[in-house]
Structure 1
Amino acid sequence: MSEAVIKLENVNIYQGANLVLRDVNLQVNKGEFVYLVGKTGTGKSSLLKTLYGDLPLKEGTGHVAGFDLKTVTWKTVPFLRRTLGVVFQDFQLLTDRNVHENLKFVLKATGWTDNNLMEAKINDVLEKVGLKSKGFKRPFEMSGGEQQRIDIARALLNSPKLILADEPTGNLDPETSDEIMQLLISISKDYDTTIVMATHDYLVINKYPARILRTEGGKIYDSANYHPESV
């Protein structure tokens, strides 16, 4: 039986007092690659924020990477986030330090203390994303594609069960987008990591087809439950 990394049942998602998504029933299993699509303002970001504990789950039941979203508090949310990796469109790298220092900062912030283990982990994730020789560079000295690879390396630091990628190809040219997609897909396959990727890029979706979750009219439509031509 497949291991569910995300399981939401009868969930209503609110942004403040506004009901954004209603009656969400969703299961995403270990190693799955899933797209999250929908027009701006239809709830994509609210869903992602619920999954990483930024929006509280008020109604329904939800589990992510073994954590009960209903009982997550400000004290326990850091533990949830250690089991996740989040990849942003705008990289959110610290510009006042080099790549190596960026990654070490995250490890220290998530409880690592052994310097040798930290060094080994940093080398490991940089090798995975093909940038082992770039640890000394500052983010502004790198191309957009390289910065996105560093962002992915950062997401891999704590060997996450789940990576949430928010428009990871949004600011990249088609060739670089291809490279990032191939990297994400290989991470999903090679490490059995679940990836949920929010995107507006239908060229990417058509080139690398996978299950699609679509937010529209306050609901989530799942291509796993519909004929592909209807989503």
Structure 2
Amino acid sequence: MTSEQPIIQLSNANIYQGNALVLSDVNISINKGEFVYLIGKTGSGKSSLLKTLYGDLPLKEGSGEVVGFDLKKVDWKKVPYLRRNLGVVFQDFQLLTDRTVHDNLEFVLKATGWKDRKDIEDKINDVLEKVGLRTKGFKMPYELSGGEQQRVDIARALLNAPKLILADEPTGNLDPETSDGIMQLLFRICREDGTAILMATHDYIVLQKFPSRVIRTENGQVADNAAINFA
């Protein structure tokens, strides 16, 4: 994939949750290295859109391509290959609570086909360094602050050098100062690694402090470059 090709391309796509049409006639194009916010009220289709992009929901109508994968052709057998090319960051971290930070990351690498011990250790050290947690690999998740756990979640998303990160409310449970640190980290990853990031958020303070392109879900539609009223 060249940098000129979009990382995400949806054309006339209808997004379904089961048999219910959630978003209709969606047209989105996101390029390498772009940072894009996804906003909208609860229940307006943000999560359904993200789930379609990472293969959790099938694309039934329209066309879509994510990191070079045709979403219409992604069945359950191909979903793992799609997800190796993108990272997903969750609001509730979803870390394995009975394993150390290091072992959480090692689990993902082994599950995605890594076998060489030195390569695994080098990659774990690399992503922990990138998120500022190089010395925390031996810690259990419950020994970390909320911000540190979110950084581990981001480190996990970086393990396979993704072209795209889909972040679902990554600052939703964090205090403002910690939230700022996470946003600075995400923008740095976007800028330095050329990783496209699509981030769903309700936090308008984040949008004010870290302005970027905005996509809005509303009334079953998706508006690109949406205007925001901060009043």
**What letter corresponds to residue 138 of structure 1 in structure 2?**
M
Matched, 1:59 2:61: yes
Where do residues 188-227 of structure 1 align in structure 2 (5 Å cutoff)?
188-223=190-225
Aligned match of 1:83: 85
> 1:3 offset after TM fit, Å?
2.5
Identity %: 71
Q: Distance in 1 between matches of 2:228 and 2:131?
A: 34
Structure 1: where are the runs of 5+ without partners? none
Using the TM superposition, give the Cα deviation of residue 128 of structure 1 relative to its aligned residue in structure 2, in angstroms.
0.2
What is the rounded CA distance, in whole Å, between the counterparts of 1:175 and 1:24 in structure 2? 35
SS of aligned partner of 1:89: coil
Output one character per residue of 1:32-59: Cα deviation in whole Å (capped at 9) or x when no partner: 0000000011100000000000000100
TM, length-normalised to structure 1: 0.97
Aligned residues: 228
1:130 aligns with 2:141: no
Q: Map residues 26-45 of structure 1 onto 2, 5 A cutoff.
A: 26-45=28-47
Partner residue, 2:144:
142
Find the residue that maps to 1:132 and give its secondary structure: coil
Q: Distance in 1 between matches of 2:25 and 2:122?
A: 44
| Letter in structure 1 aligned against 2:187 | I
Change in 2 beyond 3 A, CA 1:229/1:201: closer
Corresponding residue SS for 2:177 = helix
Residues 84-108 of structure 1 show CA distances to partners (whole Å, capped at 9, x for unaligned) of: 1000000000010100000000000
**Normalising to structure 2: TM-score of the pair?**
0.97
Runs of at least 4 residues of structure 1 off by over 6 A?
none
Paired with 1:91 and 1:229, the residues of 2 have a C-alpha distance of 28
Q: What's the CA shift string for 1:126-180, capped at 9, x where partnerless? A: 0000100000000000000000000000000000000000000000000000000
Residue in 2 that maps onto 1:181: 183
Paired residue for 1:17?
19
Q: Give the aligned partner of residue 153 of structure 1.
A: 155
Q: Following the alignment from structure 1 to structure 2, what is the Cα–Cα distance between the partners of residues 229 and 120?
A: 42
> What's the CA shift for 1:2?
2.7
Q: Give the 3-state SS of the residue equivalent to 1:36 in structure 2.
A: strand
Structure 2 Cα separation of the partners of residues 104 and 83 of structure 1: 17
**Offset at residue 230 of structure 1 (A):** 7.3
